Amino acid sequence: MPVTALAKQVVDLLRQADLPESAHVPEQWLADSLGVSRSPVRRALALLAELGLVRQEPNRGYFLVRPARDLRHADLSVGADPREQAYFQIGDDYLSGRFTGEFTTAEVSRRYGLTTQQANRVLARMESEDLIRRRRGRGWEFQRLLSTVEAHDQSYRFRMIVEPAALLEPGFTVDAAAFAEHRAQQEALLRGDIALLPSDELFRVNSGFHEMLVSCAGNAYLLDSVRRVNRVRRLIEYRHHTDRARLVSQAREHLQLLDLVESGDLAQAAEFLRAHLDAVRAIKTGLPGGRGGSSPRGSARGVRGEHDAPG
């Protein structure tokens, strides 16, 4: 079982037990309750410690940093809203080759168990996000999505061109309020939100961070292009489990980037941002970097394997 999946089960068990702050979290109790050996439990606890939910004390074990009831946001699944579920399922079916060609609202309603009104709202949302388009006659068809590894790679290479360039625009100006808001969000991720927030919210926080940086350039065309790419990426990356361990180093890199920009060294910040995007690109696609591609200074490149991180 992937360590992040087991860590979620550990969090759920702690919540059920309603343990108080500073309560001891016995490895053997977790292992017995979850039906696994102590070794994977140790790895799960180590991840939770890195995410700031428990602390390790030498020769004593692990202890809760906050009351277990405060871990109530640990449900990582998509909500029960049938429209939300259908939205992602339609995209997943398309990318998997199970749903191709032209289609009608009635077909979507029948296939995904939606009312006509629900189907219309899902399709209107997908149209507004440039994922599908109306046919001239009747029905709908998909736009070209990131349906191959190469296309996903191209989306990151596009961002590697646009986002660092935005930092070097003559009109680039730090939005102090926005920087403070996003700094607080990234710090909250390192204090435990990485483990607690749903995957779609993690994507929103991190894609919003990058959009905020681009918005400071004051160039609406640059911002619109990044937003369009992110709308498509959100659907694509939902197909994968989020590598929450990777998000630790990613949040730290985001904070480093804010420091560089606020220091006024925009040239170094632009290079750092390009390297940051290239490192995430390599993890998500498994494709080698191009000339000059490198990991940001002080960052952990992570290991491609368990799945993607919302970069």
Of 46-50, 117-121, 246-250, 299-303, the one with minimum mean pLDDT is 299-303
Inform me whether the pLDDT recorded for 22 exceeds 60: yes
Arithmetic mean of pLDDT, 52-71: 86
Inform me whether the pLDDT recorded for 78 exceeds 50: no
On the question of a common fold for 3-71 and 149-285, the answer reads no
55 vs 284, residue with greater confidence: 55
CATH number attached to the domain at 82-142? 1.10.10.10
290: left (phi over 0), alpha (psi -120 to 50) or beta: beta
Segment of 35-49, 64-78, 189-203, 288-302 carrying the highest mean pLDDT: 35-49
Amino acid letter, 48: L
Q: How far is CA 259 from CA 47, 212, 255, 264, in A?
A: 26, 15, 6, 9
- Pairing state of beta strands 54-57 and 61-64? antiparallel
Can you give the pLDDT at residue 304? 32
As its CATH architecture, domain 3-71 has Orthogonal Bundle (1.10)
Inform me whether the pLDDT recorded for 4 exceeds 80: no
Question: What's the CATH superfamily of 149-285?
Answer: GntR ligand-binding domain-like (1.20.120.530)
**pLDDT tens by residue, 221-233:** 999 999 988 877 7
CA distance 15 to 199: 20
SS3 134: strand
Mutual angle of helices 244-263 and 3-17, in 10-degree steps = 100
Question: What is the average pLDDT score of the chain?
Answer: 82
Domain positions in the chain are 3-71, 82-142, 149-285
Inform me whether the pLDDT recorded for 43 exceeds 50: yes
81 vs 120, residue with greater confidence: 120
Of 91-95, 176-180, 226-230, 277-281, the one with minimum mean pLDDT is 91-95
Of 232-241, 259-268, 292-301, the one with minimum mean pLDDT is 292-301
pLDDT tier for residue 305 given thresholds of 50, 70 and 90: very low
Inform me whether the pLDDT recorded for 75 exceeds 80: no
Can you give the pLDDT at residue 76? 36
Inform me whether the pLDDT recorded for 169 exceeds 70: yes
SS3 24: strand
Inform me whether the pLDDT recorded for 12 exceeds 70: yes
Rounded to 5°, the CA angle 137-151-207 comes to 95
**pLDDT tens by residue, 170-207:** 999 999 999 999 999 999 898 888 877 777 778 889 99
Q: How far is CA 283 from CA 228, 229, 305, in A?
A: 22, 18, 8
Q: What is the DSSP letter of 77?
A: S
Closest Cα partner for 162 from 310, 293, 301, 277?
277
Report yes or no on whether pTM surpasses 0.85: no
